[in-house]
Structures are given as structure tokens and as C-alpha cells.
Amino acid sequence: MRNIEGGLYLVVDPMPGLNEVLPKVKAALEGGVDVIQLWDHWSSAQDHERFVLEICRVAHDHHVPVIVHQQWKWLKTLPLDGVHFDSIPEDLEQIKKEFDKPFLVGLTCGNDEDKIEWAIENKIDYISFCSMFSSPTSNSCELVNPEIVRKTRAQTKIPIYVAGGITLRNASSLLDLGINGMAIVSGIMKAEDPKFAAYQFKQRILRVSQSGSPIKSKN
């Protein structure tokens, strides 16, 4: 199983279609992406199986795990590495029993301490805090109190990601929270040069690892 330890986490919106998205994902992978999540945002006519297969193919060539948002049943038939939940799943242990292989589990926690407690107790693979800043792609998330992130870091060694409205300008302000990585959407996928944008975000993250932060990365 491909592990998640930290670094650059790319959230991919599949709605624009494979022909538009795939070249950008390939470029971002070359720029240093460590994890890919496929956002649960599909058109009714989309061939999600082909989309997932193609994203997994290019990501796995770079030894990068692919996480699906919400649709955990897809792990049964597609080469996905894990699932990301927005809410606490009703019975994670029962879900795991439906599979003959281990898979990665992530959860968006926000300011909800019950979610954080559940994530720690269940020893999931990573926690995400959204939204650190307001943005068009994170308008469904409340703004996170940075102190919640610091408090969580003191409670667990589970990898912690921050997400929502992160740009190259404000990324540095997050680096003292004890995070392991950053999740980026439009900052990479809407960039003129996704490879260079991914590289720039990766360099922001690597600055923390050089200064003794828990952030880790494959590169």
C-alpha cells in the first residue's frame, strides 16, 4: 500500500473532463505532487471508471497514491489507494471488512473536536483541516482556527494537512502549525504552468522540513 506521510496533496476536480484534466495532472506530478484526491464532483454523463483508471495509471507511475472523495465503494473495482471522508463514516470497521486489502483513510475535521477525537482514536491515515482561507473552491468549509491545528499536532502523530484558499503568498503563514502538508486545488490546476506551480508549492513545504517540522515528502 502506498503510504501518506505529508507533502503536496493535489485535489482534482474531474468536472472539466479527462482530456483537460489529465495533462495538468501529469505536469503537476512532474512538479512534485505526493498525493492525489479525486473530488466527488462529476457530471452525470462522465465515465468515472475511465477517468479514475487514467489518473491512477499516471499517478502510480510516480508512486503517488490516489484517494477518492466519499465514494469508498469504488475501491472494490478500481485501483484506488484510499478514501477521503467529509463526515465520520458510520461504521469504518464494517467498511474495511468488505475489502480484502488495506486502504488509506482521511477525514476533513475543520474545527470539530469530535471529528479530531474520532480520527485519533481510529488511527486513520491522515487528517485535513479546511478551510484555512476563504476561496471559491472551499466555500462549503468553515474557516479553521489555527490553534485547533496546533492543538491536534500536540495530540497525535497522524499526518496533518491544511487546505482551502492556500496560495503561494499565504502558504508560509501556515508553516508553524506543525502540519505535514498542504492540499491545493486551483493554485495548481488553474495555473498556466501546473508543473511549475506544483514545484513552487513543494518548495514552500520543503522549507518546513528543513527547519525541523514534521513535514515529510517523497522528493
- Percentage of the chain beyond pLDDT 90 is 84
Instruction: Kindly report, residue by residue over 133-176, the tens digit of the pLDDT.
Output: 987 665 567 899 999 999 999 999 999 999 999 999 999 899 89
pLDDT range class, residue 208, cuts 50, 70, 90 = low
User: Which domains are delineated in the chain?
Assistant: 7-210 (3.20.20.70)
CA distances (Å), origin 192, targets 28, 189, 201: 11, 8, 14
Give the pLDDT mean for 8-29.
98
217 pLDDT more than 70: no
pTM (2 d.p.): 0.92
Give the pLDDT mean for 51-77.
97
157 burial via Cβ count (<10 Å: 0-12, 13-18, 19+): exposed
| Average of per-residue pLDDT values in the chain | 92
Cα–Cα distance for residue pair 157/165, rounded to 1 Å: 25
Closest C-alpha among 14, 3, 16 to residue 125: 3
Which pLDDT belongs to residue 151? 97
Instruction: Kindly report, residue by residue over 117-137, the tens digit of the pLDDT.
Output: 999 999 999 999 999 998 766
Strands 126-130 and 7-12: unpaired
Q: Which residues have C-beta within 8 Å of that of residue 100, sequence separation ≥ 6?
A: none
Cα–Cα distance for residue pair 178/151, rounded to 1 Å: 9
